[in-house]
């Protein structure tokens, strides 16, 4: 089998995901790149490289040099900023035949802007919490204030009354304000092939969350949720791995679309959704199995911190 070299951008703490790709070995060599020279993922990679920040003008030159010296076959982004960096430099990064695992710019522009995502979901008939830009907001509380462009629940605030609303509209003019839906939170892991066909959709209940990261999840192969995610992915023209967030109440309300591996995606991989193998098969031109993988329904994942020591 042909050996491929995959470069993960902004790999930082994604140790378990890198380990999941190791199971496809010896067909894949894994290179991790991050702005932090002590990134935990480096210990699991075949090779690693510390890069400038994506905002640094030297970053593109460094990534291109790494792709050339290592003969990189594919680039896989693991943060929103890395997706946007790849999209901005799509032509140069893909010039040597390197596969860029990002969707088209239209999907990125919609999904990385929570106001644009809200407008898209409403226009296409999907359920989503009522969302507002700062201004006159007449709605019931509580509300959630979240950055219009952001990830990982950073700078997210719960608003209980009009006083909170007035304060945060002034403090956070770049936030959107969203009705809070009290239901079961879901992360839905998915993989769409290069033609946009859904090959895997796995809903996971978020049973415990800390700092925006899922700590305990349970797979729930709810057919209704799977159908809605398949429809949304088709409307957006998604390709590759993604994790879609939503809340199940009287309906399934979409709240976020991550165009990359979500932090709990390893649960889906462990339960039978071998996306690393699917990605390898696409890269070498093999046909993917027309039947979706059998997933261990109701399986549970629990996560814990681990330590790496540098001597």
Note whether 168 and 212 are same-domain residues. no
Indicate whether 79 belongs to any domain.
Answer: yes
Residue 247 maps to which CATH number? 3.30.470.20
CB contact at 8 A, 238 and 219: no
Indicate whether 51 belongs to any domain.
Answer: yes
Note whether 148 and 216 are same-domain residues. no
- Residue 149: pLDDT over 70: yes
CB contact at 8 A, 77 and 10: yes
Radius of gyration, CA atoms only, the chain: 20
Interval 98-133: pLDDT, tens = 999 999 999 999 999 999 999 999 999 999 999 999
Note whether 71 and 161 are same-domain residues. no
Note whether 88 and 157 are same-domain residues. no
pLDDT at position 21, please? 95
pLDDT at position 172, please? 94
Interval 208-258: pLDDT, tens = 999 888 999 999 999 999 999 999 999 999 999 999 999 999 999 999 999
Note whether 175 and 189 are same-domain residues. no
Which residue, of 52, 87, 102, is where some domain finishes? Answer: 102
Return the closest-CA partner of residue 33 out of 24, 309, 20, 69: 69
Sheet holding 252-258, edge to edge: 252-258, 240-248, 184-192, 198-210, 213-219, 300-302
Residues 6+ apart with CB under 8 A from 96: 67, 68
- Residue 204: pLDDT over 90: yes
Interval 36-93: pLDDT, tens = 999 999 999 999 999 999 999 999 999 999 999 999 999 999 999 999 999 999 999 9
Note whether 224 and 271 are same-domain residues. yes
Domain that holds residue 296: 182-302
- Residue 152: pLDDT over 90: no
Note whether 190 and 289 are same-domain residues. yes
Structure tokens at 303: 């996560």
Indicate whether 148 belongs to any domain.
Answer: yes
Note whether 77 and 173 are same-domain residues. no
136 pLDDT band, cuts 50/70/90, is confident
The whole-model pTM stands at 0.96
Mean pLDDT of 147-159: 88
Domains held by the chain: number: 3
Note whether 173 and 186 are same-domain residues. no
Note whether 59 and 94 are same-domain residues. yes
Q: How many angstroms from the chain centroid is the CA of residue 9?
A: 13
Report the 10 Å Cβ neighbour count for 147.
Answer: 15
């Amino acid at each position: 089998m042909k050996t491929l070299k995959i470069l993960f951008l902004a790999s930082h703490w994604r140790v378990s995901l890198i380990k999941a790709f190791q199971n496809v070995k010896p067909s894949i060599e894994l290179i991790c790149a991050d702005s932090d020279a002590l990134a935990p993922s480096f210990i699991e990679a075949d090779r690693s490289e510390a890069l400038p920040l994506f905002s640094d003008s030297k970053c593109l030159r460094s990534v291109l040099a790494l792709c050339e010296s290592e003969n990189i076959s594919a680039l896989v982004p693991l943060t929103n900023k890395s997706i946007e960096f790849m999209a901005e430099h799509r032509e140069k990064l893909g010039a040597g035949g390197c596969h860029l695992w990002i969707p088209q710019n239209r999907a990125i522009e919609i999904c990385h802007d929570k106001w644009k995502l809200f407008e898209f979901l409403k226009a296409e008939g999907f359920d989503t919490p009522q969302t507002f830009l700062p201004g006159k907001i007449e709605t019931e509380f509580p509300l959630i204030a979240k950055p219009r462009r952001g990830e990982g629940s950073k700078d997210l605030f719960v608003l209980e009354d009009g006083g909170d609303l007035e304060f945060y509209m002034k403090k956070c003019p770049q936030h959107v304000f969203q009705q809070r839906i009290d239901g079961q939170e879901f992360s839905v892991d998915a993989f769409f092939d290069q033609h946009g066909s859904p090959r895997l959709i796995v809903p996971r209940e978020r049973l415990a969350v800390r700092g925006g990261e899922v700590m305990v999840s349970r797979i729930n192969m709810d057919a209704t949720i799977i159908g809605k995610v398949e429809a949304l992915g088709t409307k957006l023209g998604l390709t590759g791995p993604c994790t879609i967030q939503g809340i199940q109440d009287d309906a399934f309300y979409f709240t976020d679309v991550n165009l990359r591996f979500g932090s709990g995606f390893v649960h889906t991989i462990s339960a039978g959704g071998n996306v690393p193998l699917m990605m390898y098969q696409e890269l070498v031109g093999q046909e993917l199995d027309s039947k979706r993988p059998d997933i261990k329904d109701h399986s549970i994942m629990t996560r814990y911190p681990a330590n790496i020591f540098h001597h």
